[in-house]
């Protein structure tokens, strides 16, 4: 096969023609070892809670193995590949669009289940499906999703903000909103 004038996608289509199931199983196994389902909780001044929930699906690989990340991009038909910041020559395949995660990533891993990362995937999935129902727009829903996110990937050990940080800011924002809606007027003391 002469590949000089072919795009990477055309090469992959020719290589895996008729072998899609095996390719998908390979990608599922690869993600089980090298992938990450993460949900960051980010400060965001324009959200009523002061925080934003940011789900991301990622696969990291040394730059010498970019072809594996291209394979991920081919299989999922979405995502971006970029250089990870730092001293190591590492590339990152990333899908951070909630719509693409729901339409492409979740159906894939529902059909090709993981082994090692299945628990984190199911929590990731639960958070995304709840966000589709806008559960994160309520205080209780938001707190529930934050608790789930903090139970993922080693129980949130690498998190920038603790649950206490997040929940205290939510409570402070609620107090400010409640006070703005119902300001208490000083009462005069008749004494």
Q: Can you tell me whether residue 12 is helix, strand or coil?
A: helix
Q: Cα(71)–Cα(19) distance, rounded to whole angstroms? A: 13
pLDDT digits (tens, 9 = 90+) for 5-17: 777 667 667 777 7
pLDDT digits (tens, 9 = 90+) for 67-99: 999 999 999 999 999 998 887 899 999 999 999
Q: What is the pTM of this model?
A: 0.80
Please tell me the number of Cα atoms within 13 Å of 45 on its side-chain side.
0
Taking the domains of the chain in order of start, what are their residue ranges?
8-171
Query: What is the CATH number that goes with domain 8-171?
Result: 3.10.28.10
Whether 71 and 29 have beta carbons less than 8 Å apart is answered as no
Report the residue count for the chain: 191
């Amino acid at each position: 096969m002469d590949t000089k004038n072919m795009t990477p996608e055309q090469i992959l289509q020719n290589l895996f023609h008729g072998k899609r199931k095996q390719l998908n199983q390979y990608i599922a196994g690869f993600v089980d070892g090298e992938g990450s389902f993460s949900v960051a909780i980010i400060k965001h001044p324009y959200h009523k809670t002061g925080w934003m929930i940011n789900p991301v699906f990622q696969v990291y690989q040394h730059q010498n193995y970019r072809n594996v990340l291209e394979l991920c991009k081919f299989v999922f038909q979405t995502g971006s590949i970029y250089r990870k910041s730092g001293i190591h020559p590492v590339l990152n395949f990333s899908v951070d669009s909630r719509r693409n995660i729901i339409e492409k990533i979740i159906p894939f891993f529902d059909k090709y289940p993981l082994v090692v990362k299945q628990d984190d995937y199911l929590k990731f999935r639960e958070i995304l499906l709840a966000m589709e129902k806008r559960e994160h727009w309520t205080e209780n829903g938001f707190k529930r999703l934050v608790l789930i996110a903090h139970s993922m990937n080693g129980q949130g050990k690498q998190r920038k903000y603790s649950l206490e940080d997040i929940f205290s800011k939510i409570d402070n924002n609620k107090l400010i909103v409640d006070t703005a809606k119902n300001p208490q007027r000083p009462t005069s003391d008749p004494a």
